[in-house]
Amino acid sequence: MAAPTPGSDRGSWKLGELAVRFGCDLKGDPDAVVTHVAALETAGPRELSFLANPKHRRYLEQTRAGAVVLDPALAEASPVPALLIKNPHACFARIATLLHPLPPVRIGVHERAVVEPGAHIAASASVAAGACIGAGATVGEHAVIGPGCVVHAGAVIGADGFGFAPENGEWLKVPQVGSVIVGNDVEIGANTTIDRGAIGDTVIEDGVKLDNLIQIAHNVRIGAHTAIAAGTGVAGSTEIGKRCMIAGMVGITGHIRLCDDVVVTGKSTVTNSVTKPGVYSSALPLEEAATFRRNAARFKRLDQIARAVRALGGNKSATGETSMGDEE
């Protein structure tokens, strides 16, 4: 787990070399060189990116990456050189193992930070003045912990994100080469886990407060002064705005965005982006089990009940609003 050496000879690769090594067809100059991996939106001319999900094709069309790994069907859509292969995600995963980002400049534990016995700080991590790392907590490779942060016992910052590309019915590990960046005055609760980014970083902005047993997946960004209660999970690449209040045991799916000043009540499920500040819920309240079971059985036929009401003329007679959900 040693940090990659900056400027190593094998820190840069020609596209022709990569195409041969990984069995890709090449569209573009075989002597063009890439040195790092990066996301399509941010990659520059020496960086390699990829596109696996055709829904993100617009990012491909605007990319300024040095090269991209693509399905052959998308070759024409790429404005830059492309390594073409049937499973671009898996191939990219393999290439990324050769192209790691450099470690952050200042590493080590500041003399005015407090590290309790039994905490584990990776050699390439950075812990700033005034930070306190609790007993048994782990700060992983390249993680950056800002001034005044409190990391409670058992928290794990910077473990590998959960990234696997399917290939032939098995899972190929996607190297997790990003890091975790934690701002100033952040509090991280006991046994909470914050994964390092896959490409790019997982970012916890200034003043964020995270309770216990929270999961923050790779490439998530939590906006400044947002507070999250215990047991909540945020899946990969989701962005949460500033000053949000997320209650306990909320599940937030990946690749969405919550705007600033959103409040989510306990145990809710968030599967879509939220674009308007306000209070949101989705957890049914408790009932006696027998009653709940009866109602839940009806829920399984709710669509049919609604159709029956409509057939009876209920749609017309409902005052105020006329829809019962058919359009959804």
Residue of the chain from 56, 57, 209, 255 that contacts a second copy (CB under 8 A): 209
Name the minimum Å distance from CB 119 to a second copy: 9
Regarding 298 and contact with a second copy (CB under 8 A), the answer is yes
Using rule CB under 8 A, residue 184 touches a second copy: no
**Residue 11 in contact with a second copy, rule: CB under 8 A:** no
Q: Return the number of the residue (12 or 268) whose C-beta is nearest a second copy.
A: 268
Give the number of other Cβ atoms within 10 Å of residue 297's Cβ. Answer: 9
Rule CB under 8 A: choose which of 164, 255, 257, 259 binds a second copy: 164
Q: Is the CB of 75 or the CB of 245 nearer to a second copy?
A: 245
291 binds a second copy (CB under 8 A): yes
Cα 262–264–266 angle (5° rounding)? 160
Question: How many residues sit in the footprint of a second copy (CB under 8 A)?
Answer: 104
User: What is the spatial distance between Cα 225 and Cα 319, in angstroms, rounded to a whole number?
Assistant: 43
DSSP state of 55: G
Q: Are strands 227-228 and 209-210 parallel, antiparallel or unpaired?
A: parallel
Given the residues 36, 142, 152, 218, select the one marked as catalytic. 218
Structure-token pair, residue 148:
């005044």
What residue type is 121 in one-letter code? I
Decide: is 123 part of the binding site for a second copy (CB under 8 A).
no
Residue 311: count other Cβ atoms within 10 Å of its Cβ. 9
Q: Rounded to 5 degrees, what are φ and ψ at 252? A: -120, 120
108 binds a second copy (CB under 8 A): no
| Contact call for residues 224 and 202 (beta carbons, < 8 A) | no
Main-chain dihedrals φ then ψ at residue 19, nearest 5 degrees? -60, -45
Q: 187 vs 134, 228, 236, CA distance in Å? A: 11, 10, 21
Among the listed residues 43, 70, 109, 229, the single contact to a second copy using CB under 8 A: 229
Per-residue string for binding with a second copy, 238-267, x by CB under 8 A? -----x----xx-x-x---------xxxxx
Among the listed residues 31, 76, 111, 288, the single contact to a second copy using CB under 8 A: 288
CA distances from 161 to 142, 175, 183, 252 (A): 14, 9, 20, 16
| Site membership for a second copy, residue 187 (CB under 8 A) | yes
Taking CB under 8 A as the rule, does residue 93 contact a second copy? no
218 is catalytic: yes
Q: Which of 77, 227, 239, 257 binds a second copy (CB under 8 A)?
A: 227
| Active site amino acids | 218
